[in-house]
Chains A and B, each alone.
Chain A
Amino acid sequence: NAGVTQTPKFQVLKTGQSMTLQCAQDMNHEYMSWYRQDPGMGLRLIHYSVGAGITDQGEVPNGYNVSRSTTEDFPLRLLSAAPSQTSVYFCASSRSGTSENEQYFGPGTRLTVT
């Protein structure tokens, strides 16, 4: 199993550009989540999905869109990038809808918006 994969690893955008961060998992996990990590802060939940076709907002959803058409993929879209979105983005997945299931994290995408 590849686990959770994220592409790209690094990205530089200009203010106003759009892009999609890709996330895929091959563990047949129901739950998938996107987090951002900023210096001096822990991870903050952006959006999550509890299954194909179902998504919900986390703590910091503004400026980001998500959709989930398959169990495997959960892309994160930035429609109009802003410097405040410079961060490291992590995708995570977990088996089912109970608190006990650990989340498996992807390697992260480092995004810089100039």
Chain B
Amino acid sequence: AQKITQTQPGMFVQEKEAVTLDCTYDTSDPSYGLFWYKQPSSGEMIFLIYQGSYDQQNATEGRYSLNFQKARKSANLVISASQLGDSAMYFCAMRVVRGGYQKVTFGIGTKLQVIP
């Protein structure tokens, strides 16, 4: 079975501070991709960052970094220097693709609110 767990329903962070959003996962597949998406109140899904299961280094994309700890099966998102525009829902997801087979699992999300 494939599972994503996000245990923080809501988080608050002061503007310009860093925040970590937690994500743990479970899978028996050795090859998988981990993704973070942002969903603002307007509803669209915005891709933020990707980490492959075989990647040795943690992924970074601008102010976003992914703290990947494979042994702990965790893939936490770190947002540095938070901005008011970062207020949104954040979803962690895992994707396994093998030939013509695909399995995608999303967590239930974390609502982040940035306080001025």
A residues with a Cβ closer than 8 A to B are 31, 33, 35, 40-45, 48, 50, 54, 56, 58-59, 88, 90, 92, 97-105, 107-108
Contact = CB atoms under 8 A, between A and B. Distances in A.
A65 B13 CA distance: 43
Contacts of B52: 99-100
A112 to B, nearest CB: 15
B100 A108 contact: no
Contact of B109 (A42, A54, A102, A107): A42
A45 B95 CA distance: 11
Contacts of B107: 42
Interface of B: 4, 31-33, 35, 37, 43-45, 47, 50, 52-53, 91, 93, 95-109
B44 A103 contact: no
A54 B99 CA distance: 12
A45 B102 CA distance: 10
A99 B96 contact: yes
A43 B107 CA distance: 8
B100 A97 contact: yes
B100 A50 contact: yes
A48 B99 CA distance: 13
Nearest to A48: B102
Contact of A105 (B45, B50, B99): B45
A56 B106 contact: no
Nearest to A107: B44
Nearest to B104: A45
Contacts of A90: 45
B4 A42 contact: yes
Contacts of B31: 99
A43 B108 CA distance: 8
B44 A97 contact: no
A105 B97 contact: no
B100 A42 contact: no
